[in-house]
């Protein structure tokens, strides 16, 4: 018999650095998840991606057990990482904070492809380019 799903929680946690302290503890504590067990499993699963912020989707069941799926890092995080900038533009498209080459754009699109609503890398590149444009990042031709 399948377990009944009690709740699905989506949070972003830095890879390899989950602790029972907030924000993890304040989100998972009220639903009865064993915080130490979650943190250990998450940290083991993300040890190879240290430094990245990863979205995680946690499915909590009625018996307080859980499963989680780790997604790819947010597009804006990947763009900032590739360009080496702290944050995007506060004025959006009107203020340029960096330039992204086509090869860098393709690299980010290939990373994000599993989590995007796109079938090809070219379609994914258009989505990433839109995010970059809103962050004040120009795309080189």
pTM over the 0.85 mark = no
Task: Tell whether the model's pLDDT for residue 140 goes beyond 70.
Answer: yes
pLDDT reported for residue 1: 57
Give the Cα separation of 37 and 50 in Å (integer): 19
CB contact at 8 A, 47 and 72: no
Indicate left, alpha or beta for 32 from its phi (over 0: left) and psi (-120 to 50: alpha).
Answer: left
**Three-state DSSP class for residue 87:** coil
Task: Tell whether the model's pLDDT for residue 37 goes beyond 70.
Answer: yes
Instruction: Write out the residue limits of the CATH 1.10.10.250 domain(s) in the chain.
Output: 75-139
Cβ burial, residue 103 (10 Å; 0-12/13-18/19+): exposed
pLDDT reported for residue 57: 93
Average confidence (pLDDT) over 32-45: 88
Pick the CATH number of 5-70 from 3.40.50.300, 3.40.50.970, 3.40.640.10, 3.30.1550.10: 3.30.1550.10
Q: Domain 75-139 is classified in which CATH homologous superfamily?
A: Ribosomal protein L11/L12, C-terminal domain (1.10.10.250)
Residue 44: count of CB within 10 angstroms of its CB:
9
Task: Tell whether the model's pLDDT for residue 85 goes beyond 70.
Answer: yes
pLDDT reported for residue 10: 92
Give the Cα separation of 82 and 99 in Å (integer): 10
Instruction: Write out the residue limits of the CATH 3.30.1550.10 domain(s) in the chain.
Output: 5-70
pLDDT reported for residue 4: 84
pLDDT reported for residue 84: 85
Q: Please measure the distance between the N-terminal and C-terminal CA atoms of the chain and give it in whole angstroms.
A: 55
Give the Cα separation of 9 and 131 in Å (integer): 25
- What mean pLDDT value characterizes the chain? 86
The verdict on whether omega for the bond into residue 50 sits within 30 degrees of 0, i.e. cis, is no
Task: Tell whether the model's pLDDT for residue 132 goes beyond 80.
Answer: yes
């Amino acid at each position: 018999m399948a377990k009944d799903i009690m709740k699905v929680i989506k949070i972003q946690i830095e890879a390899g650095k989950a602790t029972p302290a907030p924000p993890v503890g304040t989100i998972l504590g009220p639903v009865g998840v064993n915080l130490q067990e979650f943190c250990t499993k998450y940290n083991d699963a993300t040890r190879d991606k240290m430094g990245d912020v990863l979205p995680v989707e946690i499915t909590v069941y009625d018996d307080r057990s859980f499963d989680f799926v780790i997604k790819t890092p947010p597009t804006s995080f990947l763009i900032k990482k590739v360009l080496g900038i702290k944050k995007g533009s506060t004025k959006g498209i009107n203020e340029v904070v960096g330039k992204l080459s086509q090869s860098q754009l393709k690299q980010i699109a290939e990373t994000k492809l599993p989590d995007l609503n796109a079938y090809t890398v070219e379609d994914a590149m258009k989505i990433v380019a839109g995010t970059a444009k809103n962050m004040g990042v120009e795309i080189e031709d």
